[in-house]
């Protein structure tokens, strides 16, 4: 897949990754709808959202939700990491990749603010995913040891 020859805004790419990156929207913006990696984003994200719905419907003891919820956390973390990478890419490197031959245009504060938001959301998603997965793992271990001792 070759780099697109038309202008792609670093600010817009950063904010699309923050807002809709878990669904791969940033990849589609930068690389088009034929981007295979972009199409790998929606399924795990939607499965993770299904896990959220299962917890709301069946409660915290739903074992399928235990598996599905971390998928959402991982996809949110990946999207925020993409936003951080886009926002911190130097303007010269961005221009060379996404609009070669055009003069470099300074981006200003838009990508920087996107990076700040992505750092906050990504850290929260990552820590929540680790805490939830760890808690569920240890609860499963306790349940298993109780069942074995009966």
- pLDDT for position 79: 97
User: Tens-of-pLDDT digits for all 150 residues of the chain?
Assistant: 454 457 899 999 999 999 999 999 999 999 999 999 999 999 999 999 999 999 999 988 888 998 999 999 999 999 999 999 999 999 999 999 998 888 888 899 999 999 999 999 999 999 999 999 898 889 888 888 888 887
- pLDDT for position 4: 46
End-to-end, the C-alpha distance of the chain in Å comes to 58
| Residue of 139, 138, 132 lying closest to 77 (CA atoms) | 132
- pLDDT for position 63: 86
Domain layout of the chain by residue ranges: 10-149
- pLDDT for position 60: 83
Residue 53 phi, psi dihedral angles, 5° rounding: -65, -40
Contact 23, 42 (CB under 8 A): yes
| Residue of 123, 115, 49, 57 lying closest to 87 (CA atoms) | 115
- pLDDT for position 149: 84
Cα separation, 67 vs 56, whole angstroms: 15
Q: Where are the alpha helices (DSSP H) in the chain?
A: 10-20, 25-31, 36-39, 42-58, 63-88, 91-98, 110-149
Cα separation, 143 vs 126, whole angstroms: 26
Our CA angle for 52, 43, 117, nearest 5°, is 65
- pLDDT for position 5: 57
């Amino acid at each position: 897949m070759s780099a697109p020859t038309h202008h792609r805004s670093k600010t817009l790419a950063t904010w699309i990754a923050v807002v809709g990156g878990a669904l791969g929207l940033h990849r589609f913006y930068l690389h088009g709808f034929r981007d295979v990696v972009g199409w790998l984003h929606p399924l795990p994200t939607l499965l993770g959202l299904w896990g959220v719905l299962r917890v709301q419907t069946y409660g915290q003891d739903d074992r399928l939700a235990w598996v599905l919820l971390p998928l959402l956390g991982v996809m949110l973390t990946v999207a925020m990491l993409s936003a951080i990478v886009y926002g911190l890419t130097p303007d010269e490197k961005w221009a060379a990749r996404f609009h070669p031959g055009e003069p470099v245009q300074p981006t200003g504060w838009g990508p920087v603010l996107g990076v700040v938001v992505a750092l906050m959301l990504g850290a929260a998603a990552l820590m929540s995913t680790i805490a939830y997965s760890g808690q569920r793992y240890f609860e499963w271990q306790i349940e298993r040891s109780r069942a074995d001792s009966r």
